[in-house]
Amino acid sequence: MTLFGTKSPLVFVFTFWICLSAIAQNKPILVIHGGAGTIERGMLSDSLELEIKSALQKALDTGYGIMSDGGTAVDAVEATLMVLEDSPHFNAGKGSVMTKKGNHELDASIMDGKDLNAGAVTGVSKVKNPISAARGVMDKSPHVMFAGRGADEFAKTLKLELVPNAYFTTPRIRKNWKHSQIKEGRIAPAEKKFSKFGTVGCVALDGDGNIAAGTSTGGMMNKANSRIGDSPIIGAGTYADNNTCGVSSTGHGEYFIRIGVAKEISDQMEFGNKTLKEAVNHTIHNKLSNMDALGGVIALDRDGNIEMVFNTPGMYRGYKTDSENKVLIYGKDD
């Protein structure tokens, strides 16, 4: 019998080693969103569209680069969302919408699919990067969520950067806030205007096969003070489980909370044997749409399948793998 005969135990050992090596060398994947809404061609100037796409690309490059260098999915999610929070083009961090009283209350959450650990903050008003505060809650406390002043104080103990509340305001946001007050937070049906749920989100799959997800937002324009949407709620705005998928949501939070959108997608895969594509489409195009709720999700499963699904005209989104890099704004075919 030769060394490479079909019955040689060395062959089986070698084959087994090859399989383990393949498993251990997963290629990183990163997917992001910057909000869904009435985003149609012609509504953005060429220069603004370029700025938005550049910001999305910078976020993708940042998170993917971290994982390419051996960083974790959690590291990548936090760093990616920090880039989007620092950009004035999204409703998270700088550029967040304003409450009815004219201030900013920010929310964020993050989850590690490896052990289902999670952290969130809601109603923070001084933390420059709320996603970092959420990660701090996950990594450095026995709790899952801190709110309001307590969340700001906890962030201070972590030595995170704090800023005046006015830091989050931009001229565009103040103008939109004044308009929303005139309209009492509503846009007349006859008016077809650009509008967007500008929440940002990220889902990552790292080289070890671990999934993480995170979401950050300023909430709804002209919202009641202390209103909380789905973004900081684990299972609604954010969910990650290595056994199924990672999800980040954007849309009308009240409906996403009622359905538990992010966890429902995972549950359909775990208990209903649905593919990621089937689960995401059922949740967005059946359950949410049947409630006349608007929004979308990004999702990534353990096999590296990507879904970016929404029931609005457009959604800022993008993904990066070892062979593909796409940044999109408009409808399905962009």
CA-to-CA dists, residue 315 to 4, 221, 305, angstroms: 54, 18, 19
β strands within 50-134, DSSP E: 106-112, 117-124
Residue 179 CB burial class (10 angstroms; 0-12, 13-18, ≥19): middle
66: exposed, middle or buried (Cβ count in 10 Å: 0-12, 13-18, 19+): buried
Out of 72, 80, 122, 199, the active site residue is 199
**Assigned token pair, 223:** 């919202």
* DSSP type of residue 165: G
> What does the alpha-carbon distance between residue 251 and residue 237 come to, in Å, rounded to a whole number?
9
Extended beta strands in the chain, E state: 29-38, 106-112, 117-124, 145-147, 195-197, 200-205, 211-217, 238-240, 245-251, 295-301, 306-310, 314-320, 325-328
CA of 57: how far to CAs of 95, 193, 251, in Å? Answer: 18, 26, 22
Give, rounded to a whole angstrom, the gap between the first and last alpha carbons of the chain.
Answer: 59
Would you report the helix, strand and coil content of the chain in percent, each value rounded to 5? 35, 25, 40
* Cα(334)–Cα(318) distance, integer angstroms: 11
3-state secondary structure of 139: helix
The verdict on whether 199 is a catalytic residue reads: yes
Residues known to be catalytic: 199
